[in-house]
Amino acid sequence: MTTREVADTYVAALARTDADAAAIAGVAPTAVLPMLSPGAFDDRVGAARVAREALSHRRSRDDEALTLVLGERLDAEIDLVDCGFTERLLAPLATPVDTVRTTFDQLPRDTEAQWEQVIETLGAVAGAHDDYLATLVRSAGRGHVVGARQVRQIARRCRGWVNDDDFYGLLTGAAPTALQDRAAAAGHTASAATLRFADEVERLLLPVAPEADAVGHELYTHTARAFLGCDVDLVETYDWGWSELDRIATEADALARQLHPDGFDAAVAALDADPRWLLGSSEEVESWLTARMLSIADHVDGRHLDLPPEPLRRPECRMASAASGVMYYAEPDPALTRPGRVWWTVDPAVGARTWREATTLHHEGVPGHHTQIVTAMTTPGLHPWQRHLCQVHGHAEGWAHWAEAWCAEIGLLDDPAERLGMLIGQAWRAARIVIDMGLHLGLPIPADRSRRGGLAGGSALSGATEWSYDVAVDFLRTVTGLGPSMARFEVDRYLGWPAQALAFRVGAREFESIRTHARSVAGTRWDERAFLTDLLRLGPMGLGPLRTLGHRLGQQE
């Protein structure tokens, strides 16, 4: 088999349990909702093992880049299953239970026929939850179960979607008159299933779930390698996270003094109180998002980066109907019939402050996630597996986070307030590194940290030399300005998704290193627009393959 034939066979095998793979393979998907039974998980990892074996015995050197990328990803997929991580996952935003709910954000609802599919899919929610519960119970029986905090938080999230957000009720309330009764009944069934999952996951898993949050060095090493697509020195990365936080805090403090003579805290308070930056309603936010995204795309396209053509050039901006969530990007379907979308949530009691949010828009939309993902989806020559199914956090989050700071270089953050918002976002990602690694690996807080002010967050540590959940929440609040509930949500996510927090800044460091190397090689021939466009056209991959292929690309410039 050639590498491309191995990839073809792998996609065909995944099509049995994955709707996107089915679309790529040209077959009707078995289900709209993710397939989450123990058998479905077994089928997917079995397909990965077969593909890995075939790749090691391929008979030709037909596509060395694809071989490098596919081999690394297959190793990562298999390793995450073998170490017990994949089938126990309950982290906020990452759990398949979240995927079940967010599926309904993507389903079209313009015609009665489309509503029929929504109603049918609502009826499948109970089965999806039951299947995943069976997978979690089997995993627990094998000794792989998340900490009790993760079990409680997913139960709390599920109840919040029903009792606080009335997600399924609001969804079905917009159904056509002729389908209202059926839609309402299906929504009620989905809500009941979601509440039942919350009860059952607590009943079945809490008795065997450890109270300890930390996963320890062994599992963390596996997840770090998989999320990044390369090996990293964990102690060096932890120390670097602290140094990055100090560097960003110093820059932010100098900028803040341009905005307010009393420094960072006073500048932030003044900006948050300034009505010019405040958007109160969802309608105002959506209008701002749409107009700003168009302005960003116009600024970037053809000058700093070649964006995909219309209608894929920029994402749609939508408001999510569930308040129990955060901003996120949803990519187009493989056939490109559904646009990429940036989904936003706003707490009506707080509103949105645009000086803080501009950098998030860069991260989620243009030139961040949307640009990176759609560029890969529309690049000729990439295998369909790489265009649509290859997902690496270090690459995706690394590019999007790198792009936040790059936007300041190219004139998209000339307003000092918005630039300060970007620096707060950068500090947030640096804080993620030290919180995540400190909690999971038991690494100490350096003794002198309490004396660091501003974004360095020292005031929150109160002399603490060891990480705890409460110290992490207080520290994150001080660095980011998040409210208590959102800060707890974030720390819960780090605890349930060990090492994923590294993907942002470690990935961004790799992208910057590759750019620096290519620029030094090119000298006076340096064309940044062409290089960055070509770098994205390599497609998603682990950071190890990216370093190899990015350096080769730089040598061609």
pLDDT tens digits for 468-478? 999 999 999 99
Q: What span, in angstroms and rounded, lies between the C-alpha atoms of 30 and 79?
A: 27
- Whole-number pLDDT of residue 372: 98
- Kindly state whether residue 319 falls inside one of the protein's structural domains: yes
Name the residue among 365, 244, 301 with its Cα closest to residue 532. Answer: 301
pLDDT greater than 60 at residue 48: yes
User: Does 182 share its domain with 41?
Assistant: yes
Of residues 455 and 247, which shows the higher confidence score?
A: 247
Q: What span, in angstroms and rounded, lies between the C-alpha atoms of 302 and 506?
A: 28
User: Does 413 share its domain with 309?
Assistant: yes
- Arithmetic mean of pLDDT, 355-359: 94
- Kindly state whether residue 119 falls inside one of the protein's structural domains: yes
Q: How far is CA 150 from the centre of its chain?
A: 18
CA distances from 239 to 156, 234, 394, 479, 500 (A): 34, 9, 19, 17, 17
pLDDT greater than 80 at residue 350: no
Q: What span, in angstroms and rounded, lies between the C-alpha atoms of 102 and 161?
A: 11
Q: How far is CA 469 from the centre of its chain?
A: 22
pLDDT greater than 80 at residue 164: yes
- Kindly state whether residue 171 falls inside one of the protein's structural domains: yes
- Whole-number pLDDT of residue 214: 97
pLDDT greater than 90 at residue 271: yes
User: Does 284 share its domain with 209?
Assistant: no
- Whole-number pLDDT of residue 29: 79
Helix and strand element counts for the chain (H, E): 24, 5
Percent of the chain's residues with pLDDT above 90: 85
> Which residues fall within 8 angstroms of residue 269, CB to CB, at 6 or more apart?
none
**Residue showing tokens 């021939």:** 525
> Which residues fall within 8 angstroms of residue 109, CB to CB, at 6 or more apart?
115, 118, 174, 175
The per-residue pLDDT for range 274-322, each reduced to its tens digit, is 999 999 888 898 999 999 999 999 999 999 999 999 999 999 999 876 5
- Whole-number pLDDT of residue 138: 98
- Whole-number pLDDT of residue 39: 98
DSSP 8-state assignment for residue 344:
E
Q: Domain tally for the chain? A: 2
Backbone angles phi, psi at 540, to 5 degrees: -70, 150
Neighbours of 37 (CB within 10 A): 18
Name the domain boundary from 167, 188, 213. 213
Question: Quick one: residue 411, left, alpha or beta (phi over 0 = left, psi -120 to 50 = alpha)?
Answer: left
CA max distance for the chain: 68
Helix or strand (DSSP H, E) at 36: none
Q: What span, in angstroms and rounded, lies between the C-alpha atoms of 342 and 330?
A: 6
Helix or strand (DSSP H, E) at 179: none
- Whole-number pLDDT of residue 557: 56
Query: Which tokens belong to 126?
Result: 């109970």
Of residues 483 and 114, which shows the higher confidence score?
A: 114
Q: What span, in angstroms and rounded, lies between the C-alpha atoms of 547 and 7?
A: 22
Rg (CA), the chain: 23
Whether 48 and 11 have beta carbons less than 8 Å apart is answered as no
Backbone angles phi, psi at 279, to 5 degrees: -115, 125
User: Does 310 share its domain with 203?
Assistant: no
- Whole-number pLDDT of residue 217: 97
- Kindly state whether residue 233 falls inside one of the protein's structural domains: no
User: Does 303 share its domain with 197?
Assistant: no
DSSP class per residue in 285-316: HHHHHHHHHHHHHHHHBTTTB-PPPTTSSS-E
User: Does 184 share its domain with 287?
Assistant: no
- Kindly state whether residue 105 falls inside one of the protein's structural domains: yes
Q: What span, in angstroms and rounded, lies between the C-alpha atoms of 202 and 67?
A: 43
- Kindly state whether residue 473 falls inside one of the protein's structural domains: no
- Whole-number pLDDT of residue 140: 98
Confidence at 63, pLDDT banded by 50, 70, 90: confident
pLDDT greater than 70 at residue 417: yes
The per-residue pLDDT for range 422-435, each reduced to its tens digit, is 999 999 999 999 99
Whether 11 and 24 have beta carbons less than 8 Å apart is answered as yes
- Write b or e for each residue in 76-85: b if 16 or more Cβ atoms lie within 10 A of its Cβ, otherwise e: bbbbbbebbb
Confidence at 440, pLDDT banded by 50, 70, 90: very high
- Whole-number pLDDT of residue 321: 64
- Arithmetic mean of pLDDT, 227-239: 97
User: Does 181 share its domain with 311?
Assistant: no
- Whole-number pLDDT of residue 459: 86
Q: What span, in angstroms and rounded, lies between the C-alpha atoms of 110 and 264?
A: 48
Neighbours of 548 (CB within 10 A): 16
- Kindly state whether residue 382 falls inside one of the protein's structural domains: yes
Q: Which domain holds residue 39?
A: 3-213
Confidence at 50, pLDDT banded by 50, 70, 90: very high
User: Does 418 share its domain with 338?
Assistant: yes
pLDDT greater than 70 at residue 326: no
User: Does 324 share its domain with 198?
Assistant: no
Strands in 43-146 per DSSP E: none
Q: What span, in angstroms and rounded, lies between the C-alpha atoms of 280 and 201?
A: 37
- Kindly state whether residue 223 falls inside one of the protein's structural domains: no
Query: Which tokens belong to 550?
Result: 């990015």
User: Does 28 share its domain with 151?
Assistant: yes
- Arithmetic mean of pLDDT, 201-217: 97
Name the domain boundary from 192, 213, 234. 213
Query: Residue 519 carries which side chain, given as an amino acid letter?
Result: R
| Cis amide bond preceding 309, omega within 30 | no
Whether 224 and 499 have beta carbons less than 8 Å apart is answered as yes
Q: How far is CA 102 from the centre of its chain?
A: 14
User: Does 85 share its domain with 166?
Assistant: yes
Q: Tell me the average pLDDT of the chain.
A: 94
Name the domain boundary from 213, 244, 268. 213
DSSP 3-state of 26: coil
DSSP 3-state of 279: strand
User: Does 284 share its domain with 373?
Assistant: yes
- Arithmetic mean of pLDDT, 235-243: 97
- Whole-number pLDDT of residue 186: 97
